[in-house]
Amino acid sequence: MPDRSVDPELVYSKFETELQVRPDDIDMYQHVHSSRYMDYVLAARFDQMERCYRMPMAEFQQMGYGWFMATAHLNFKSPLALGDRFVVRTWIEKFTLIGVKVQFEIERKAGRKSVCIGWFDYVLVSLQTSRAVRIPEAIRRKYSI
Amino acid sequence: MPDRSVDPELVYSKFETELQVRPDDIDMYQHVHSSRYMDYVLAARFDQMERCYRMPMAEFQQMGYGWFMATAHLNFKSPLALGDRFVVRTWIEKFTLIGVKVQFEIERKAGRKSVCIGWFDYVLVSLQTSRAVRIPEAIRRKYSI
Amino acid sequence: MPDRSVDPELVYSKFETELQVRPDDIDMYQHVHSSRYMDYVLAARFDQMERCYRMPMAEFQQMGYGWFMATAHLNFKSPLALGDRFVVRTWIEKFTLIGVKVQFEIERKAGRKSVCIGWFDYVLVSLQTSRAVRIPEAIRRKYSI
Amino acid sequence: MPDRSVDPELVYSKFETELQVRPDDIDMYQHVHSSRYMDYVLAARFDQMERCYRMPMAEFQQMGYGWFMATAHLNFKSPLALGDRFVVRTWIEKFTLIGVKVQFEIERKAGRKSVCIGWFDYVLVSLQTSRAVRIPEAIRRKYSI
């Protein structure tokens, strides 16, 4: 198996989750509140961990691990509004010893308009110690698709 | 057409919306946070206003109307957890001159377990005056299905 | 000590917490979103458990207990808007063997306008079994002020 | 008056807002949910616009302007937990023709621990056209303190 963590040529799969704006996501400007885009990416990621990577968040928790967000970077392009359906596409850009950089793009279904792009840096932590741990090889393999 | 607003024998249609718990809905007890059930009913109601009653919330706003919640009553049966899929069933119990009483029940898809039941009293208000207004006959007819 | 749980003449203390509306609480109608009033009462209750009853939620958790909401009833009077400061007043109306009925009223500071009144029924549960448990006498005493 | 928008030597005032974690901010990991830190900065900014810059958000809205977030960058240091009190410090790093870069740092009061640092790029838009507009000189002056 090629070592994707060091081979910059290798790219990881992009996965998609379709969601819809809820009324409680709308803010005083009649658009989705800025922080909710972060929640949408999180929701898509949880869905894809289970459905696409075949290792849901619950399995990490049972193993005593959690993924903590170290950095979030969001670039807002065009807002979503009430009732909008949209796709959240996420993919791993790269692994480090203790984490992953996940890229995302949110696209409104109507007109395929770009809504928000960005990336999140996650670190694997032990739930017992709250400290970062080296990603076990079995986990890295499951996520290297 | 029978006058459903005065005939207590008449019953209104029940409509269903399927939703899924988002990670940001989960609270410190690993269950859906209590106030989010209210948001779920609201989301279902908006969906059904458009899809089932054929008069979406946006149409009310364009006509200068808004629906304000006067009373909310929620009876919690069994909590939802991360990733749960569920159905929100809502129906009009009765009309008053200026509002409607909407009943709801939330049911988890797995095991068809009852999650939350209750009712919301809504009042139609003029967005200009913020005061309750008599429900126009055309609106009452659309919602009397 | 009088047994307040059976003597209907006895009344329990009312406690107050002052809070302020956050921008993310505002909805598409420029008012506080309906479900957030439930969150405000919850926030006030947590504050008062620690500050007034001298037994914070964390202490319940350490003892293996949690308070789950069985019923919520909210009557909306007049909405809060961006930046509003308000007081949440709560008090125990009565104890049952396994729970408490907590009454609340939310009042806007400017003009002392009534915003929302209602009550929550809480049940004490064991975090291990997720089942209701009889309220220990020591807890009942702390909360019977 | 010195032209702060071109003089890189000039620095703008740092303002502080003290807030407290609400129970509904806590997520399944018993910490403040990641997207809520964005809401905290927003809440602090609204407070400081009114209290420190003497030009509240409502005044922008009355003038037909809104501030839309173009980019958000958050670096998470150490999480906040239930009941924590914290300070949100924000300051303008620089102006552009159509926007501002706002830096922030969130610090837990107990132990003065750094919680989250980052910056938001805002763009001034016309609420009528939803397009970016040049910042009027009167506004720039009020915010150049």
Buried b (16+ CB within 10 A) or exposed e, A26-40: bbbbebbbbbbbbbb
Q: pLDDT tens-digit profile of D74-133?
A: 999 999 999 999 999 999 999 999 999 999 999 999 999 999 999 999 999 999 998 999
* Average pLDDT, integer, range D20-39: 96
Residues of C in contact with A23 (CB under 8 A): 27-28
Give me the pLDDT at residue A8, please.
56
Query: In the B/D pair of chains, how many CB contacts fall below 8 A?
Result: 22
Q: pLDDT tens-digit profile of B30-85?
A: 999 999 999 999 999 999 999 999 988 889 989 999 999 999 999 999 999 999 99
Which structure tokens are listed for A128?
């017992």
Give me the pLDDT at residue D61, please.
87
Facing B33 at nearest CB: one of D24, D35, D82? D24
To the nearest whole angstrom, how far is the Cα of B6 from the nearest Cα of chain A?
32
Decide if D42 and C58 are in contact by the 8 Å CB cutoff.
no
Confidence of residue D11 (pLDDT cuts 50, 70, 90): confident
3-state SS, residue D116: strand
Decide if D39 and A35 are in contact by the 8 Å CB cutoff.
yes
H or E stretch including D115? strand D114-126
B107: CB partners within 8 A, 6+ apart: B86, B87, B89, B113, B114, B115
Which structure tokens are listed for B76?
């919690």
Which ipTM value was assigned to this complex? Answer: 0.91
Query: In the A/B pair of chains, how many CB contacts fall below 8 A?
Result: 38
Q: Per-residue pLDDT for D33 more than 50?
A: yes
Q: pLDDT tens-digit profile of A37-92?
A: 999 999 999 999 999 999 888 899 899 999 999 999 999 999 999 999 999 999 99
Q: Per-residue pLDDT for B1 more than 60?
A: no
Decide if A27 and C30 are in contact by the 8 Å CB cutoff.
no
Integer angstrom CA distances of residue C94 from C16, C74, C90, C100? 18, 18, 12, 6
What 8-state DSSP symbol labels residue B9?
Answer: T
Give me the pLDDT at residue D8, please.
57
Residue D61 burial by CB count (10 A; 0-12/13-18/19+): exposed, middle or buried? middle
Facing B42 at nearest CB: one of A24, A42, A43? A24
Residues of A in contact with D42 (CB under 8 A): 34-35
* Average pLDDT, integer, range A16-22: 97
Q: Per-residue pLDDT for A124 more than 50?
A: yes
Facing C46 at nearest CB: one of D46, D57, D83? D83
Residues of A in contact with C27 (CB under 8 A): 23-24, 26-28
Interface-testing mutation among D25, D28, D38, with chain A (most A C-beta atoms within 10 A): D38
What is the Cα–Cα distance from C80 to D26, expressed in whole angstroms?
A: 23
Q: Per-residue pLDDT for B94 more than 60?
A: yes
To the nearest whole angstrom, how far is the Cα of A101 from the nearest Cα of chain B?
20
**Nearest chain D residue (CA) to B34:** D24
Integer angstrom CA distances of residue C20 from B38, C80, D18, D43? 22, 10, 12, 10
Residues of B with CB under 8 A from a CB of D: 23-24, 26-28, 30, 33, 35, 82
The answer to whether D11 and C48 have CB atoms below 8 angstroms apart is: no
To the nearest whole angstrom, how far is the Cα of C2 from the nearest Cα of chain B?
32
H or E stretch including B97? none
Q: pLDDT tens-digit profile of D121-145?
A: 999 999 999 899 999 999 999 888 8
Percent of chain C with pLDDT over 70: 93
Residues of D with CB under 8 A from a CB of C: 22-24, 39, 42-43, 46-47, 50, 56-58, 82-83
Decide if C28 and A33 are in contact by the 8 Å CB cutoff.
no
Q: Which chains touch C (3 or more CB pairs under 8 A)?
A: A, B, D
Q: Per-residue pLDDT for B3 more than 60?
A: no
Facing A42 at nearest CB: one of B24, B56, B57? B24
Q: Is the pTM of this model over 0.90?
A: yes
Decide if B24 and D27 are in contact by the 8 Å CB cutoff.
yes
Mean pLDDT value across chain D: 92
Residues of D in contact with A73 (CB under 8 A): 71-74
Comparing D143 with A120, which gets the higher pLDDT? A120
**Nearest chain A residue (CA) to B47:** A83
Q: pLDDT tens-digit profile of B103-123?
A: 999 999 999 999 999 999 999
What is the Cα–Cα distance from A67 to A123, expressed in whole angstroms?
A: 6
Give me the pLDDT at residue D9, please.
60
**Nearest chain A residue (CA) to C81:** A28
Comparing D29 with C5, which gets the higher pLDDT? D29
Domains of chain C (ranges; CATH) run 15-143 (3.10.129.10)
Decide if B43 and A50 are in contact by the 8 Å CB cutoff.
no
Residues of D in contact with B33 (CB under 8 A): 24
Q: Per-residue pLDDT for C2 more than 60?
A: no
Decide if B43 and A57 are in contact by the 8 Å CB cutoff.
no
